[in-house]
Structures are given as structure tokens and as C-alpha cells.
Homo-oligomer: A and B are copies of this chain.
Amino acid sequence: MSKKNLLVGQSGGPTAVINSSLYGVVSEGLSHPETIGHVYGMVNGIEGFLNGTTLDFEKALPGEKLSYLKHTPGAYLGSCRYKLPESLEDPVYPLLFRKFEEMNIGWFFYIGGNDSMDTVSKLSRYAASIGSDIRVIGEPKTIDNDLVHTDHTPGFGSAAKYVASTVREIILDANVYEKKSVTIVEIMGRHAGWLTAASALARKYPGDNPLFIYLPEVAFDTKEFLSNVEKAFRKNCNVIVCVSEGIHDAKGTFICEYDNSVGTDSFGHKMLAGCGKYLENLVRTRLGVKARSIELNVSQRCSSSMLSATDQQEAVAAGVFGVKAALDGVTGMMVSFIREQNPDGSYKMTCGLEDVNAICNAEKPVPLEWITDNGSNISDDFLAYAAPLIQGRVDVPLGEDGLPVFVYRK
């Protein structure tokens, strides 16, 4: 049997370790020269592939350079937000498989969130329908941690560590002045509050800030919020509140939409401001205290400064596991994480495989029983769940310029 080639792509928003999964796939792919010919990357996902942009990893990242993927944020291969047509009769499918054939692809890996698993589902189903033996495997990735049938997702641990450490620093910063103040920290996660919940890890002792944490899993009430903050001032001078960008009221209206009805810019267009900015203004106006808001923004998904070694290692492991499974003939599956325990009770993770069709159009919210204090706090169960995922330091190499060295396509 002649050798076939491996193809890997990335899709959706980047994370701090999406390139670690890529490293896992590529390094494992290169370690089977008896079976796998070339290891190719598709540039800018399926969309870029349709435009014919690919690269050969042995040329693009020769030798040691490949390992730099493990601490390079962003998506080395570039990404896309492209949804394949629902109908497998669409001409894009034969086009794609003709291209796969031209490149003699035997195995295809797609690293991404649930939209990317939708792509894996469609390609594997189409392959089956035409009797192609291309193996298609999904590699999980999302800071949102909202994929079902997996204990957690690569990318969440590092994002959670970034959120927790940054909020801990913001608390120190806020505590500098002895004047009543409220700091609103807006955290990514439109539908699932996992990352916002991670701000609870910032607490140095019971009762420490952040005093309130609001997730999108439950309705947000501005009156109750203001009342909570006022009560907190009895004991605390500086109140830190962490909110998910997706908090909404009982009617389902996003808090960040409250202002859009009035905030228009000079051209008559709606000003888009986050819920943090809205709540900052609300607090200043209604409570008459110093208020500020901080949107943690894209650093949550692209900071290399707070990489979790656990997250990084697991992302690599998922990549490696996926290649091994594909070589064993598996297809149409996503690599999942199963939480186990070492004999001493400590955290241990093993990889599993789940049908992508069960994953691609579902979202896993934070369990309601982990949301406490009438929707304003997080239980210790969450802390026990999340704490192992942020462990371990990754020292990103610094270059002569004193800054982190990353690899990139020029």
C-alpha cells in the first residue's frame, strides 16, 4: 500500500493552545514515516483550502521550530468561519474530495469548536456516502469550554488562568485607594459562563474579591445588582464584580443592548459598548461612587503569559491521540477528555473519542447547581472542577528583544 498524506486545519476563534494541538497532530504525524508521507496544513481552514492554500510542515517549520507552536498563540495556520452546506448533494463536497485526492490525503484533522465539529460531521458523512476511506477527526478547541461529552476543552485552562491571575491583579490595583469604588470586569463567553466563573479562582481568601460573579446561565437583574453592591459597601471599600459579556435580563435582552438604544456616534450609528461599560455608568449614576470597567478582551484567548502547563500538555495529547485513532481507522469522532483520578486522588486526564454528531450542535452551560447566592456567585464545586486545569508554568522563550518568540507564517 502506498503512503498517504495527512492534512490538518484550524477553524474558529484562536486560543492560547490551539497551536499546541496542532503541534500534537503534526509531530505525531511526522513520527509515522512508514505510513504517512507528507504532513500538510490547510491555510485559513476549509475556506482557504478551497482556494488552494496549503503548506508542508517539514518545509514551513523544520526541526526545532515546530516546537515553538507550543507557546505561540493565535492560529498558526490561520482560521475561517465557514459553514459547509447542510445538503451533502452540494457541489462543494465533490470539489473538496477531489482536492483531497489530488493531495493524496488519507487523514484529515480539524481543530476547532462546535462549528468545526459540524464540518467534521459533514465531511465524514460525505466520505462514507461515497465510500472514501479518508479518516476525519475533530480536535476540540475553545476557551468557552462549552463542548458537550468532554470534561473540558483545550484552551479553557489557559484562558481561565489568564482571567484568574488578571482579576487577582485588578483586585490589588483597586485596593490601592481607600475610596468607595466599583470595578466591573467583563469576561468572554456569550452563552456559557465557564470563563467568567474562573474569576472566582482569583480569590486569595474566603470573602476576597471578586464579591459578585454573574454568568449568562441565569437572568441578570440590574436592581438586585445595585442592591448587592450597596450592601457590600458596608464591609468593603472596593467592590470587584465579574460579568460575562452575555448577561441578559429575564426577558432575554442582553445587558449590553440596553445602551444601544441611546448611544449613537457622530454618524448616527449605534455605539457598540459592552455590558461592563453599561454597568459602570449605572453604578456611577445610581450609587454616586467611583466606577470603572475593564474588558479583558482578546488577551483572554491569545495571551501566552499565563499558559497553563496542564492545558498545554493536554492540547498536545489530544492532537497525538487523534492521529493514533485515525491511523487505527477511526473517523467522524472528536477527541474528548475524561477526568480520572490518580491513586492518590489527584487529577488525571485521559483521552477518549465521541461521535461528532452528538457534539456539533450542542452547548454545555455551567450547571445551575454551581451558581449560588441568587445568581451572583459560584460554588466550591466549580473551584474543585477548574483548579486542576490551571496548574503549571510554561516559560515562553524570550528573544534578544526581550519579548516572547513566536512562529508565524509571513
Point out residues on A near B: beta carbons under 8 Å. 13-14, 44, 48, 72-75, 78-81, 161, 164-166, 168-170, 172-173, 175-178, 201-202, 204-205, 258-259, 261-267, 269, 271-273, 277-278, 281-282, 284-286, 294-295, 297-299, 301-306, 308, 387, 390-393, 395, 398, 401-404, 406, 408, 410
Contact = CB atoms under 8 A, between A and B. Distances in A.
Contacts of A273: 271, 273, 277
B265 A299 contact: no
A139 B41 CA distance: 54
A264 B262 contact: yes
A81 B202 CA distance: 27
Closest 4 CB pairs of A and B: A74-B172, A305-B305, A173-B302, A391-B402
Nearest to A43: B178
Given A168-B406, A267-B281, A295-B295, 12 more contacts: A13-B176, A74-B173, A78-B176, A169-B299, A258-B266, A263-B264, A265-B278, A267-B285, A271-B273, A272-B281, A273-B277, A391-B402
Contacts of A170: 298-299, 302
The winner among A295, A299, A408 for most chain B CB atoms within 10 A is: A299
Copies of this chain: 2
A10 to B, nearest CB: 8
A18 B355 CA distance: 53
A271 B269 contact: no
B169 A73 contact: yes
Given A175-B408, A176-B74, A265 B259 contact: yes
A303 B173 CA distance: 9
Nearest to A410: B205
A80 B177 CA distance: 6
Contacts of A14: 172-173, 176
Contacts of A278: 265
Given A78-B176, A266-B259, A271-B263, A390 B408 contact: no
Given A176-B75, A295-B295, A202 B403 contact: yes
Contacts of A79: 176-177
Nearest to A409: B175
A63 B269 CA distance: 59
A403 B264 contact: no
A298 B294 contact: yes
Nearest to A393: B398
A279 B79 CA distance: 26
